[in-house]
Structure 1
Amino acid sequence: MEMASTATNHDAGITKVSKVGSGSHRCEIDFSQVEKIEIGRYITSPTFLAGGHEWSITCYPLGNKESANGTYLSLFLDLRSDSKDVSVIFDFNLLDKEGRPSATQLNRTSHVFEKSGYGWGWPQFIRAKDLKESYVVDDHFVVVCTITVLNASSCPVMVPPSDLHLHFGKLLEDKENADVTFDVEGEFFHAHRLVLATRSPVFKAELYGMMHEHSSTDIKIHDMDPLVFRSLLHFIYTDSLPDDEDEDFDDADGDDDSSLITDNILMTQHLLVAADRYALDRLKLMCEAKLYKNITVDTVATTLAIAEQHNCSQLKDVCVEYATVSENYTKIVSTDGFDHLQLSCPVIIEEIQHKINQISIESVPCEELGTESPHRLDESL
């Protein structure tokens, strides 16, 4: 196989090119026309589409090289579209006198077509004498070309999404080969040192460093709710939040559901603190994003305190903007979270009050301005 040479093209000879299947095309060639063509001269088929690229077939009836003395017919596949590095598997075959694919003339190869205008194929595809004797019918012979382009868009192999998190989640659930136990307010959690140390540099220092937990199989966790620690372990093993915490807060309705939303927000706040404590940056950002999208009057003060204390600048900014709306602020000051914010972050309170004082004109409905709304339709019309 080699690249086709550039020689004079003869338009006559190829009567038509037709698609006969997925990636396969028939090229019918007029034998009496092409047998008159000199050695080193060729005919080229019309372009056809396969695998998202344009191609043509180049045929040298008496070979592409003088040294072969006209003994062989040469066949090449040419990339015609303006593409680069197209990786393909392709083959040429002939139809016998009964119209069936030849059992002996199938030639297949793989090649990367680096750019348009170059061909690849077989200089000695078939002896000219054998072609005439076995494959010419009604003064025609038929070349069948099948092309498979090897790229992501045409690949029929469906790769399922990763299920690694499911396997690690099962490992946590089954406690198989667990080698460390955590006591969180009397509730015990079994885990694997290597998994924890791989995911968290803080756990790595605690479990494999110079800290006292290095040789202990039972470790007590202080200042953390068991539910928060359970969610923390779930993330470490699966890189996701538990299903009940991964749902949108705004799907709830009614007073009971409103209380549930508040509880979920508080849970997310505690989980953000735990994520920061164990240097789980992705979990911290996931919690920050969830809190960012679920700011309420009841929880904005505690969220703001956490954002300030744990360096969540974007969350802090949106909480401050929310609190500086005067109708929000009058409600926020009566919440328990506001008292906590005053004690822990008094500078933030001053910042909010300063911004409120800068707002000189309060927005009101258009009717209260004493003029008709320009968007109101005249009811007399």
Structure 2
Amino acid sequence: KVRAVSRTRDFAAEFEVGNVLAAFSANLQVSQDNSAFRELTGPVAALGEYRFEFRLVYGVEKSGALKKDQDIGMYVCRTDSSRGSAFAKYEVQVLNREAAKHRKLSAQQYRAFHEASSDGASSWGWCPSFEGGNPIIGLNLTKILDSAQGWLHHGALRIVCMISIVMGLDKVETAEVESDAQRGVCESFKALLDSKHFADLTLKVGDEHIRVHSLVLAARSPVFCAMFSAGMRESQEKEVTINDLDVDAIRELISFFYTGDFKRETLENDDSTLALLQAAHRYAAGPLVKKCTAALSARFTVETVSERLELADMIGCTVFKEQCLEYMRQQMPEVQETAAYERLVERRPG
């Protein structure tokens, strides 16, 4: 069968407005030909032939004075003149010093942006200067300038801007018969695991005993392969004792070794994901490590990232450690103010 696959390119950048009051007051750029609003141009996404700009909008009086109690807005504008529509999905996130208070707004689907010279829509977003447009509800200059509200980061307003643009469609031929055959293999191995037929090895995890097949583990894990190949005690006694890993995580790891799958709900909270990451890293299940670190890094906050870094360093998971460090580099002033960061520095001063 033939499957249509879209090619997309993504762009992400941070829009930082320092000395907010002065920047807003001095700016004279009118928004959407509406003299009641002005706008600041932020990050520019140049992807292939397409060019998009993020713009921050706020209200002003006829005298030019700022309307501090009027909600601000953000929108995305296509500014290139390449012919034809560009389909894009976008997101903005206004950062608060408390991660739980971030204001995140995102388009739920890809929209058509016409070239800038056409009569069609080339701008979309949450913008009060649009005819009938809506702002970012509840976020105005009065609140932004109030340091107790948490919107200023060392005096700067910070907004993360992201956009994904469809660059084209490809047709991919897939072998349906092969897919069915692979699914059949996975189902057969799951049945083998469930039945315990011909199981020749016991994993002792705490008080629980899990019967498995040493050949399957050796084929799927270089760690188990080395253990069973080197004449180690475990290969002689047909028993492996694991005292420092979670039993549910080990069960999911074993399921992954047999079927290439695991319970997706395991990744829905940090505790179970961290437990699975430790097990997957210990036994070199690379694809599973990647899924765990992706889930964890998507939920980083300034309060938790230091603890995640300490764990990554402790278990020697380089990929996860780099993800932690990258997040910390982007949020370092806020991270340094947390108790978790202080504990990290005390315990691991290097």
> Which structure would you say has the larger RCO, counting Cα contacts within 8 Å and 6 or more residues apart?
2
User: Under a length normalisation based on structure 1, what TM-score does the superposition of the two structures give?
Assistant: 0.41
More strand, by proportion: 2
| Greater gyration radius | 1
